[in-house]
Structure 1
Amino acid sequence: MSSQMTSGRSMSGRRFLCVLAVSALSLISAAQARAETLRVATPYPALNFHTQNLQAFASAVSSATNGGLKLEVYPNGTLLKPAAIFDGVKDGKAEAGEVMLSTLAQRDPLFGVDSIPFVVSGYNDARLLWDASRSHIEALMKANGLRLLYAVPWPPQNLYSETPITRLSDLKGHRLRTYNAAQKRIAELYGAQAVQVEAADLTAAIAGGRIDTMVTSPSTGLETKAGQRMTYYYKVNAWIPKNAVFVNEARFAKLPPAMQQTVLKLAKDYETRGWDASRQTYERDEAELAKTGVRVLNPDVTLQGDMRRLGERLTREWLHTAGTEEVDILLNFENKRSKAN
């Protein structure tokens, strides 16, 4: 009798454990079914520091929401072509994306405020300009049905060339890679051939000789093996453009409020992290460029003078196309800079 009772209790215990296991699996399956997934399109390679920061942000979001929200990052233009990312996220072809703001300047001059040549002199200035312009960029994104999450700068943009450049008139006849309105204008002013090349296609464009001159960061120069053809690199510090990470506003609004707040809080953290990474990348990658045989040079007095005059001209032209909002941003920036100094 005692043996039978023990056996009965044992069977009952096993049934209980089975029920618990099934219930746990059901809860896990239900949680997975409720998990939200946002696809994030970026034009940059997986090893680029912007993409790595984005991947870290995605991992932090997943962890903070216990897997309730997953950001699937598609690097190198694999989800949407670079030029299609902004409109693609607006139209719901991807839920989120990353673009360089100045590539949108033809839509609105405000997007190009961080790429007016020689307005900022370094990261501290770039931060002040972002502080002065952020709310305006957020409003412009919102008007396009998008929610800005964060923005991170590229290292200063410098001049690469296959041949020595002693003054800007030496650009005549060169095939200059362009990715924003400012670069197209530079090509026009100095008789260079403007060649539009998106980030995902840049390595092939350099290797194939489609371009022989470009203004970009040391990070991009390393990633694209630019030094195999362009062995001159001038530290002109032309501008410090930013990438913006954003999400479709309507899709974001469907997330639970607590999840939205988690994403926005982490976005602030990873904006700070990204700015730090940009500074570190600049110092490291410029040193690496020199190791590849690229001549890392400071521009001489003549080239510096040309650059200063170019900056003054393009600033006047930008202000001519801009409205009072853009003028207010620059005035606000100058005010912040004067107080900081």
Structure 2
Amino acid sequence: MKKLLLTLTVAMALTASATEHWKMATPYATGGLHDRTNHYFAKQLQTATDGKYEITIYPAGELVTAKQMLQTVHYGDKAQLGEVLGSMFAQKYPVWAMDSLPFLADSYEKAERLWKVSRETVARDLEKEGLILLYAVPWPGQNFYTKAQLNDVSVLSGKKMFTYNKLLAKLAKFIEAEPVKYNVNVLGQAFEQGKVDFALVSSSTGVKVKLWEHTKYYTKINAYFPKALTFISKNVWDELDKETQDKILVAAQQAEAHGWALSKTEHFGQEAVLIENGMHSEAPNVTVRQAFFKIGQKLTKEWYKHTNKAAKKVMKAYRGY
């Protein structure tokens, strides 16, 4: 009996030691589409490796902040995997800005096309940071939340616009609005205090922040579909055998497909929630759509003029796709 117990104890110890426990850091909250995608990836990887690799996901920046994500995951000790909104680092890597250029890719079909032609460049950029790209998943389309009906662009003139990056700040200036930068987590509070008059965010954010308490009109313009990038430390990656690397890439491919499907489902599902809570949902009229299309062209032209060769190459590929 003692020999049997000893054998079982040793077997359990060997099993425990054979399991690798990885940490994934993300700035996004529990329960959202990116969190669900990450859990799906973790489950797929665990199954594919017979439980050899287990991933614990640390949401809402509790382990690593978005600004420190690339550098921290690069080392691979505090967190082996990470996720971040690509456009946050667009100043260093211009291609990462493309999915946030207003009205460049204003549908899921165009967003997928843009990702197809830019993926290789983004992966190379991440390798410069000591990271390996796993997958990318877009937020639902970014739409306008206003207090008055958006029947003309002039409705936004002189108003305070919520922004979170330089491209949105430039858009605000093009429509003669005042750009004000806040963390999305305090967007509702900013509206309450009169610091923000309107916003261009997804249906997911609109529901999370309960924007029906602060605005009345939801204009479905799908200005852009910004993506979150998920990656693994190259230091960790290089220690893995080829078979394990292949299994990770397969799980990542499955997660990306799953995440895009989730994004599309959430896009329309959350719009229904907005309507249920009293928001007036409508498509922009021809005048508004044409006006924003022209503004988008100006923003893209300005970006193209000052961007690098790699980004210009991707843009040409997207335009000629």
State whether residues 75 and 235 of structure 2, in contact with CA within 8 Å, keep that contact through their aligned partners in structure 1: no
Q: After TM superposition, give the deviation of residue 51 of structure 1 in Å.
A: 0.8
2:93 to 87, 95, 108: 108
How many pairs were matched up? 320
RMSD (Å), alpha carbons = 2.0
Q: Deviations over 1:119-156 (max 9, x none)?
A: 22311111111111110100011111111100111111
- Who is 1:328 aligned against? 313
Query: Which whole-Å deviations, capped at 9, do the CAs of 1:177-215 have from their partners, x for residues lacking one?
Result: 222221011123334332323344445545555433211
> Which 5+ residue runs of structure 2 have no aligned equivalent?
none
Q: Please say which of residues 128-137 and 244-253 is displaced more in the overlay.
A: 244-253
Query: Percent same amino acid among aligned pairs?
Result: 30
Measured in 2, the distance between the counterparts of 1:74 and 1:203 equals 24
Q: So what's the TM-score if we normalise by structure 2? A: 0.92
Rate the CA distance shift 1:67–1:301 in 2: closer, same or farther, 3 A: same
For 1:262, the aligned partner's letter is K
Question: Counterparts of 1:51-200 in structure 2 under 5 Å?
Answer: 51-92=35-76, 93-200=78-185
Is 1:304 the counterpart of 2:281 in the alignment?
no
In structure 2, give the amino acid aligned to 1:29.
Answer: A
The TM-score, its normalising length taken from structure 1, stands at: 0.87
**Among candidates 263, 279, 300, match of residue 278 of structure 1:** 263
Q: Distance in 2 between matches of 1:259 and 1:65?
A: 8
Of the candidates 273, 279, 288, which is equivalent to residue 294 of structure 1?
A: 279
Q: CA deviation at 1:162?
A: 2.8
Q: Secondary structure at the match of 2:103?
A: coil
1:217 corresponds in structure 2 to 202
User: The residue matched to 2:149 in structure 1 has which SS?
Assistant: coil
The CA distance in 2 between the partners of 1:131 and 1:52, in whole Å, is 23
> Partners of 2:293 and 2:256 in 1: how far apart?
30
Segments of structure 1 that go 5 or more residues without pairing to the other structure are 1-14, 337-341
Q: How far apart, in 2, do the equivalents of 1:116 and 1:312 lie?
A: 9
Find the aligned partners of 2:284 and 2:314 in 1 and give their Cα distance. 30
**Structure 2 counterpart of 1:41:** 25
Indicate yes or no: 2:9 matched with 1:25: yes
The separation in 1 between residues aligned to 2:70 and 2:97, in whole angstroms, is 15
Q: Residues 43 and 82 of structure 1 are in contact (CA less than 8 Å); yes or no, is this contact kept in structure 2? A: yes
User: Aligned partners of 1:166, 1:110: CA distance in 2, in Å?
Assistant: 33
Q: Could you say which structure has the higher helix fraction?
A: 1
Do the aligned partners of residues 28 and 255 (structure 1) sit closer, same or farther apart at CA in structure 2, a change above 3 Å counting?
A: farther
Distance 1:163 1:86, change over 3 A: farther
Distance 1:123 1:229 in 2: 28
Return the index of the structure with the highest Cα Rg.
Answer: 1
